[in-house]
Amino acid sequence: MGLNVSRKIISKHLVKGEMKAGEEIAIKIDQTLTQDSTGTMAYLQFEAMGIDKVKTKRSVAYIDHNMLQSGPENADDQLYIQTVAKKHGIYFSKPGNGICHQVNLERFGIPGDTLLGSDSHTPTGGGIGMLAMGAGGLDVAVAMGGGEYYITMPKIVKVNLTGELQPWVSAKDIILELLRRLTVKGGVNKIFEYSGPGVKTLTVPQRATITNMGAELGATTSIFPSDEVTLEFLKAQDREKDFVELKADEDAAYDEVVEINLSELEPMAACPHSPDNVVKVSSLKGIKVDQVGIGSCTNSSYADMMKTARILDGKTVNDTTSLVIAPGSRQVLNMLAKNGALSSIVSAGARVLECACGPCIGMGQSPVTNAVSLRTFNRNFEGRSGTVSAQVYIVSPETAAASALTGYITDPRTLGEDVKIEMPKEFIINDNLIIHPAEDSSKVEIVRGPNIKPFPCALPLAEAVTGKVLTKLGDNITTDHIMPSNAKLLPYRSNIPYLSEYCLTPSDKDFPKKAKENNGGFVVAGSNYGQGSSREHAALAPLFLGIKAVLAKSFARIHMANLINNGIMPLVFKSEADYDDIDEMDELMIEDAQAQVRNDEIIVKNKTNGHEYIMEFKLPERQKKMIISGGLLNMVKAGE
């Protein structure tokens, strides 16, 4: 039996384990990326390991999240990242150079390489044939130090694309259709590998849109083959030397197959408040739109921006609608400025933002109270926009631009003849905002601002773990709920004591107070706990507040790993009925904790009602040892 693309890359990077679905494997990482929201903590952890130079082929630190400088905190963090990068062999992408995933795709992505990033949308690199995965900052720090990255060997799902997209239907509609079918939990412990004749009809940026939002499926990653389309993209980026052909063997085996006929798709929209709440745009007639946002790492490529410009050309944005547009990279912005498309965008009445994440992460451009906001972004969780009462829809650039003109959610097919955009034969190449590491690191002084505080470390596991249930939560609690990331809090990403005051407050406003009054305790939650961003702060803030374990029906992959990395036990209800038996402020106990952790099940006693719950704890021995040690960093320091 032949190999698919995913297994070919994994096999070349496999360090430990066997490629059997469900088994733990360790792989070597070629490239890493960080962004400033998660980067400060990752580099503090890297420094704590005492390693002089990164050991990857290339590591890049991007500044693209915390761009609003209303005080010194963001600028201080960015200066720390720049100096620590220069000292330790890391390339540094300055503010204004663009969003990490867009720039990495343009300038650094290499087919067949592995990429680990401290951002959940790192799988964007799969659009160019990379095995690209999001992870917590500590995992990225370990990879920078030459350590392997551990994952559960995923099932490989073949997404067989046939047909060709019809006019006004885009790559965004492909991934929204997949989310409609499979939901935000449908990709857990799976890699989605795109195949079939429809693949060749999609450009690299279109492919990257699809792999980017594969993160919303909960997938380990998504990937496309590297073919003649990939080669043309790399040629246009003056990187033909980086091309490697990657295709599945004709007799390649897959664990599952999903069929999508591109010819049958139509414009789609994810309705509030989940990326899988997907319907046809044609079913949303008559909904007034207050704000439209076009950009983010999902839809800010040259082609996306050009199509938007053509739709807006000679027209004016509806007088009751605000339109904001953010090109994904300086390369894209430069090309729009040179060919006149930027003039069309500005003349139509759009507000042009800098090349950054911006509104996607709630960093500015929050809509009005009770607004309807259409966004080409990847997530529409409640309150993520910065306006709790806003109704946020996820759509394609075509749907967004059409709706900005009419002031209502509009099917772009009503605009008439489709707008065709040809991929450029040559992109404008200017890497002067990418700072190279120092040749002599001894001359580099690392600058730390006063807002940068030490990160919390867990203590080794106690023999008995006791505490109260501080809060009881429902399903699909996101990392935005656990550790809010709005414009007011982002400047404090390097200050865990400050951030902890806001931990879980969107779901339980008294949570930090209860945690401090009770010296920590337990969190109880429903299914898919920790979905969304890879932010490690969603584990670090609970750790600072003394959270010992989270009892949930199920966990999102990256957040579960972050909890374990920081010594917090993720316990899964064997019987979901036990979830209903627990009340807030019940006192729980895990006796003989160190001995129990070595098993696949842990008994949790409810001292308040006298009941016992069997919790699944099916972790590899390495992760069980991590819990006993009090986290990954303690193990690394001990040389384990």
Helix orientation angle between 137-144 and 36-48, rounded to the nearest 10 degrees: 50
CATH 3.30.499.10 location in the chain: 5-264, 268-414
Distance CA 19, CA 13 (A): 11
| 3-state DSSP assignment of residue 379 | coil
Evaluate whether 95 touches 65 at the Cβ level (below 8 Å).
no
Check pLDDT > 80 for residue 639.
no
Evaluate whether 142 touches 149 at the Cβ level (below 8 Å).
yes
Which residue type is seen at 283? S
| Residues 577-605, mean pLDDT to the nearest whole number | 96
Check pLDDT > 80 for residue 638.
no
Distance CA 512, CA 337 (A): 48
Give the residue among 458, 457, 466 at the shortest CA–CA distance from 592. Answer: 466
Q: What is the structure's pLDDT at 362?
A: 84
Q: What is the structure's pLDDT at 125?
A: 98
Percentage of the chain with pLDDT > 70? 100
Chain segment 504-555, per-residue pLDDT in tens: 999 999 999 999 999 999 999 999 999 988 789 999 999 999 999 999 999 9
Has domain 268-414 been given CATH number 3.30.499.10? yes
Average pLDDT along the chain: 95
Give the residue among 272, 297, 353 at the shortest CA–CA distance from 120. Answer: 297
Q: What is the structure's pLDDT at 486?
A: 81
CATH of domain 5-264: 3.30.499.10
Q: What is the structure's pLDDT at 265?
A: 98
Respond yes or no on whether the N-terminal peptide bond of residue 65 is cis (omega within 30° of 0): no
Give the residue among 455, 467, 470 at the shortest CA–CA distance from 593. Answer: 467
DSSP assignment letter at 148: -
Give the model's confidence band at 28: pLDDT under 50 very low, under 70 low, under 90 confident, else very high. Answer: very high
Q: 614: Cβ–Cβ under 8 A, 6 or more apart, which residues? A: 574, 575, 578, 601, 602, 603
Give the model's confidence band at 636: pLDDT under 50 very low, under 70 low, under 90 confident, else very high. Answer: confident
The string of DSSP letters for 236-299 reads HTT-GGG---B---TTB--SEEEEEEGGG---EEEPTT-TT-EEEGGG-TT-B-SEEEE-TTTS
Helices of type H across 313-396: 330-339, 341-347
Distance CA 357, CA 361 (A): 7
Percentage of the chain with pLDDT > 90? 90
Picking from 165-169, 197-201, 338-342, 416-420, which range would have the lowest pLDDT averaged per residue? 416-420
Check pLDDT > 90 for residue 19.
yes
Chain segment 139-189, per-residue pLDDT in tens: 999 999 999 999 999 999 999 999 999 999 999 999 999 999 999 999 999
Give the residue among 414, 498, 513 at the shortest CA–CA distance from 450. Answer: 498
Integer-rounded Cα Rg, in Å, for the chain is 24
CATH 3.20.19.10 location in the chain: 465-634
Check pLDDT > 70 for residue 640.
no
Distance CA 447, CA 445 (A): 6
Distance CA 443, CA 446 (A): 10
Chain segment 371-381, per-residue pLDDT in tens: 999 999 999 98
Evaluate whether 274 touches 307 at the Cβ level (below 8 Å).
no
Burial class (CB in 10 A: 0-12, 13-18, 19+), 266: middle
Structure tokens at 148: 């392997």
Give the residue among 188, 221, 152 at the shortest CA–CA distance from 623. Answer: 152
Has domain 465-634 been given CATH number 3.90.105.20? no
Looking at the DSSP assignment, which residues form a beta bridge with residue 633? none
Picking from 295-309, 396-410, 571-585, 624-638, which range would have the lowest pLDDT averaged per residue? 624-638
DSSP assignment letter at 409: -
